Each structure stands twice: as C-alpha cells, then as structure tokens.
Amino acid sequence: MSYLLRVSVSLRGEKSWSLKLRDEFTEQFLAVHPGVEVRDRHTFPIPHLSLAEMVAGQTRVADQTPEQSAAFALGNELSEEVLNASAIVISTPMNNWGPPSSLKAWFDRIINSKTYYREIPALRGIPITFIVASGGIFSFGDTTKHDHLRPLLIECVTRLGADDYVFVNCDPTIPLDAKKLAPDAPESGYLRAQREIPPAAARIRK
C-alpha cells in the first residue's frame, strides 16, 4: 500500500514548529495524493545501537546468525519502512548546531548492509522532505557555517541513493516562541517555511 512515512523528532508537542509544519505538509500532501496512508515513526523511543546490533547491521542478512537476526530486528523493521515508502517527510529541530541524538539513532538503524549494498539504491526515486526548525538563523547567511545538521542529513540520504530531497526551513523560532513575532508576519521564518511546502508536498514516488 502507498504511504507517506513521517519521521518525527521533536519532543515539544503542540509547541513544536517542526511538527506544526509536518502537519501542514501532511494535509497538503493528502490533498494532492488522496488515498495515501500515513505512517508515523517517532525517533525518541529508538535506542542507540549496542555493539551486537551494530555488528548485526554490518552483516549481510543472508549471513546473519540467529542471534544477529534477532539483534537486527528493529533495524530491519525501520529499513523496510523506508524502502517501501512512497514519500518521506522528516521533521526535526536543530539541537546544539546538529541533529538530536534520536535522529542519529534512527539513521544508525536504517544505514546497514540491507540498505547500503543494493543493486538499486535504497532511496532512489523516493521524495524526501526535511523540515528543519532552529532557534537561530542557520539556513542562510553567514551562520550556515555553524550548521552541522543539514550537511549530515544530505550525506546520510545520498549515501543510500536519494536523488530527490528538499528542505523546508523554519528559522529563527526564538522570536516566535517569545511571541515577539507573529507566525504570519512578513519576516517570519514560519511563513517562509509555509510557502516552501506546496511544491514539496506535490512529490510522490513514481
């Protein structure tokens, strides 16, 4: 069945700007692609890799021992979720100039022998939308040199063959949280992000 995989990272719930934009993206995606299922994957319950899990993920599935197969169970589940998606939207905040550790834990689970060593690249043809929210401005201007999140995201997905990825950037969010700037103000990073959603949401795996 065709589905949109939503990978959500923020822990802020209703206060999260990335989750608000994820929901707007979903609404517009479904308007263009009615009937597509939505599957949610929250990263915060995903544990970081143990040594046994890391070794299992580096071992080809056909060569895994029963113990390694058991250790790879979650990685296999997450990988299948990605491989079969019709589109992926990853909504995340920037934490201390980089990715939240739970997002890194998710990538560590889906980058493995099953997804990396493939005749047809794992993410080829799957549209990926990154929704990134940050307190300060890091998506443009002189401060982009401090952005260690977006380059990592690009590296991770392109290593798996991604050829269709875009960013929806919501920054800065500090004025929004402090209510010094309305979300619909002309200079609002949220309004700018909203304008980036329609073309991103129009894409689906062919």
Q: Where are the domains of the chain?
A: 3-45+76-101+119-201
Distance between CA 170 and CA 91 in Å, rounded?
Answer: 11
Average pLDDT over residues 118-130: 96
Percent with pLDDT over 90 in the chain:
99
CATH of 3-45+76-101+119-201, one of 3.30.499.10, 3.40.50.360, 2.40.30.10, 1.10.287.310: 3.40.50.360
Average pLDDT over residues 178-197: 96
- Tens of pLDDT, residues 127-170: 999 999 999 999 999 999 999 999 999 999 999 999 999 999 99
State the pLDDT confidence band at 123, using cuts at 50, 70 and 90: very high
Whether the pLDDT of residue 31 is over 90: the answer is yes
Average pLDDT over residues 87-100: 98
- Tens of pLDDT, residues 50-69: 999 999 999 999 999 999 99
Beta strands at 3-8 and 165-170: parallel, antiparallel or unpaired? unpaired
State the pLDDT confidence band at 28, using cuts at 50, 70 and 90: very high
Query: 169 by DSSP, 3-state: which?
Result: strand
Of the candidates 116, 113, 103, the residue with the CA atom closest to the CA atom of residue 152: 103
Task: Find tokens 């990605």 and name the residue.
Answer: 82
Whether the pLDDT of residue 72 is over 90: the answer is yes
Q: What is the pTM of this model?
A: 0.95
State the pLDDT confidence band at 1, using cuts at 50, 70 and 90: confident
State the pLDDT confidence band at 49, using cuts at 50, 70 and 90: very high
Residue 28 in contact with residue 81, Cβ under 8 Å?
no
Q: Collect all residues with Cβ–Cβ distance below 8 Å to 5 and sequence separation of at least 6.
A: 39, 41, 81, 82, 85, 87, 88, 89
pLDDT value, residue 157: 98
